[in-house]
């Protein structure tokens, strides 16, 4: 799976939220100033080439739909983050989040409970 640029990732997040959509449908959901149709259309085509989208043609209108779930993409990015910045150790990531105060004691307890519940399955 290829890496997405920030613009591509922003568009994919909107498509994941919307579901199947046309370029025009997505543009309608954007805040002003809205980008040109041709710009967004180009990003859709790039996402299709990268294997994130597919389309169905209805005459001259293309309806795009994701073929990679947000969870699949997020999971890959988390694995890359752990590998590249935390020596491949999820424990190092959690330790960093605790030291950085990004993970509260309550959240850590909840995470431990989820792990325990997962082990019981």
pLDDT in tens, 64-83: 999 999 999 999 999 999 99
pLDDT in tens, 101-116: 999 989 999 999 998 9
Class assignment of domain 6-66?
Answer: mainly alpha
Of 39, 37, 43, nearest in space to 61 by CA: 37
Q: Where are the domains of the chain?
A: 6-66, 70-120
Contact between 24 and 18 (Cβ < 8 Å): no
Of 62, 36, 45, nearest in space to 8 by CA: 45
Structure-block tokens of residue 82: 């752990």
């Amino acid at each position: 799976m290829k890496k997405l640029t920030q613009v591509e990732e922003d568009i994919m997040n909107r498509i994941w939220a919307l579901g199947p959509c046309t370029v025009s449908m997505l543009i309608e959901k954007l805040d002003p100033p809205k980008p040109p149709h041709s710009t967004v259309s180009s990003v859709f085509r790039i996402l299709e080439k990268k294997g994130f989208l597919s389309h169905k043609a209805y005459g001259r209108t293309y309806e795009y739909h994701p073929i990679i779930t947000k969870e699949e993409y997020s999971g890959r990015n988390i694995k890359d983050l752990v590998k590249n910045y935390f020596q491949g150790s999820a424990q190092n990531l959690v330790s960093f989040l605790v030291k950085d105060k990004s993970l509260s004691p309550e959240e850590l307890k909840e995470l431990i409970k989820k792990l325990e519940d997962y082990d019981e399955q």
